Structure 1
Amino acid sequence: MPIHPEIAKVLSTLPAPDGSPLDPEAVRAGEVAQVPPLEDRVPLYAVEDAMAATRSGDVPVRIYTPAEADAYGVLVYFHGGAFFLGSLDTHDHVARSLAKETGYKVISVGFRLAPESAFPAGLDDCYSVVRWAADQGGSLGWDGQNLAIAGDSSGGTFAAAVAAMAHDDGFDRITHQILFYPSLDLDFDVDRYASLRGNAEGYGLETAGLKPFNAFYIDSGADPADPRVSPIKREDLSGLPRALVITAEFDPLRDEGELYGQRLKDAGVNAKVSRYAGANHGFVQNFSWIPEFYRAFEETGEFLNRS
């Protein structure tokens, strides 16, 4: 099917890339300007800003409680933004929808960004908050059973990497991983995946933009050959948590996400790949107001609550 007409309308208004260098502060300011006012966001039982005291240091988090209950599953969420964009505020609406549709208590992580913080600062923050959530389970109302991690785009990179780091450390509390259109291979050779060519232009995220957008992270010390940076390069995927990999039809990163899901299955992991027709990269953040794409949150809830 063609790209969704509502997405096409928005894409038609975007200026063509002019090749000028990216200014992190300017791009961040543009993102902040798009944050909807509080009254337009999904209401929840409670939303609280806190500081997680972790082995990585104090990490800002935002805790979303969907409804009053005796205990909750916990979902730790890592926002996208090519490792230099995004914040607790820019992805607040995503975390709220995740909490609403899963019934889990969601902990969104305000991890350190490139280029101000060198690799692996942001990744360490994400992993440390997961360990903190398990350690603080009683005060969070954690049910002690369900501990999920999720991320969109580069946040999906972190989620996949955190799942592997936890496995290697013998930390076996993570039960689920949800990867929304993840960036899993930071080797941007356009011949590696057909979608890098087939979806190269005209769909928002463009293949030619992958290197400059990720340059802040790579230049901070993130080696694309390192499986913590490119999780698809991990040789042994066995023993990782069950996975839901959500991809977008018109996304240059589509094929690496789907290959990763297949490799998880081949390694014996309970994994599902779900491609959203007519969608582009970033649809969970940018176009979840379209019912067909809000479905990604509902599918996440079904995945997490399946017996």
Structure 2
Amino acid sequence: MKIDEVALAAGGHPFRVRTYQPPQPGGAVLVWMHGGAFMFGDLDMPEADQVARELAGRGVTVVSVDYTLAPLDALPALLPPGGPGPDAPLPPPPMSDRPRARFPVASLQVAAAFEWAVESFGEVRVSLGGASAGANLAASAAMRLRDAGGVQPASLLLVYPVLHGEVPPVDEELQAMLKELPAFLTFPKAAMMAINENYAGEALDDPYVYPAGHDLRGLPPAFIVNAEADRLRMSGEGFAAELAMAGVDVTVVRERGTAHGYLNEVGAPAAIRTMERFTTWLA
């Protein structure tokens, strides 16, 4: 496997991409974005690095995007009193010391990373994908690219995405699952409002902020994987329905026995299973 980093710039800010090229490429390229509420994460977290290595090991070339993160103003609203604590299912998210910026910087950078990948890898299928906030950025960039009228992504791959400014209400089945989770992993309304305002500022109604509820016609075929015990599953499932109503081919999967962020669990069977699903889809 060949791993390289390239410095780019878009939205008035520098950023970088890390490429993972398999010894025998299978003809598909995935531009991939980690999650982290738009304000956490880096290229070394499992949701970025493990995903890229697993896919590259299966013949997919991955371009992992180190987009500019949003400010940390919403952090107090996300953490439980006293911090995550020793029993938290996932480690605290990495903190970046790079300059930060709100929307539209990250969205513009993802679109630029896609265009760079198309130019760099030539006549191959280039898709966009991401997890959580990264999935939002992938869908946002796909809308930008559609509206610009240039080369379009071959497909969208979204894992436990957040695509609504206000997540649809949960049903009784999911509500029972959420009762078993720590409060901060249930994405309370106040926390989601803080994330929204922190990322978008005054631009919450911009269709490139939260794509759900806007014109989705002409987007590429989408593969959506939702975590089972995840309030954001309602966003992923709702967005899948909107895509279908807009005439977009969509496949939606519920990864059983998982909670939000499971791609950060190193070596987890569900994470590997999702990578196998991705590989099959991209092929």
The match for 1:50 is: 6
Q: 1:297 aligns with which of 272, 275, 283?
A: 275
| 1:208–1:299 Cα change, 3 Å | closer
Match for 1:51: what amino acid? A
Shift of 1:275: 0.5
Shift of 1:220: 4.8
SS in 2 for 1:117: coil
The match for 2:115 is: 131
Shift of 1:79: 0.7
SS in 1 for 2:258: strand
Q: Distance in 1 between matches of 2:260 and 2:276?
A: 18
| 1:214–1:77 Cα change, 3 Å | farther
The match for 1:64 is: 20
Match for 1:85: what amino acid? F
SS in 2 for 1:133: helix
Aligned length: 250
What is the CA deviation profile of residues 155-198 of structure 1, one whole-angstrom value per residue up to 9, with x for unaligned ones? Answer: 0110111111111111233111100000111225xx63438745
The match for 2:143 is: 164
Q: Distance in 2 between matches of 1:52 and 1:272?
A: 32
The match for 1:76 is: 31
Match for 1:171: what amino acid? G
Maintained 8 Å contact 1:199/1:207? no
| 1:127–1:186 Cα change, 3 Å | same
RMSD of aligned alpha carbons: 2.4
**In the alignment, is residue 233 of structure 1 matched against residue 213 of structure 2?**
yes
| 1:74–1:197 Cα change, 3 Å | same
SS in 1 for 2:29: strand
| 1:238–1:216 Cα change, 3 Å | closer
Maintained 8 Å contact 2:152/2:220? no
Match for 2:239: what amino acid? Y
Q: Distance in 2 between matches of 1:270 and 1:133?
A: 24
SS in 2 for 1:231: coil
SS in 2 for 1:276: strand
Shift of 1:121: 1.2
What is the CA deviation profile of residues 65-103 of structure 1, one whole-angstrom value per residue up to 9, with x for unaligned ones? Answer: 12245x8422101110000001011121122112223x2
> Where does 1:130-279 land on structure 2 (aligned, <5 Å)?
130-135=114-119, 137=120, 142-188=121-167, 192-194=169-171, 197-203=175-181, 206-209=185-188, 211-212=190-191, 215=194, 218-222=197-201, 223-234=203-214, 236-279=215-258
Maintained 8 Å contact 1:150/1:159? yes
**Structure 1-normalised TM-score?**
0.74
Match for 1:192: what amino acid? P
Shift of 1:105: 1.2
Deviates more, 1:116-125 or 1:105-114: 116-125
**In the alignment, is residue 283 of structure 1 matched against residue 262 of structure 2?**
yes
Q: 1:100 aligns with which of 38, 43, 57?
A: 57
Maintained 8 Å contact 2:217/2:248? yes
SS in 2 for 1:48: strand
Maintained 8 Å contact 2:165/2:196? no
**In the alignment, is residue 113 of structure 1 matched against residue 93 of structure 2?**
no
**Structure 2-normalised TM-score?**
0.80
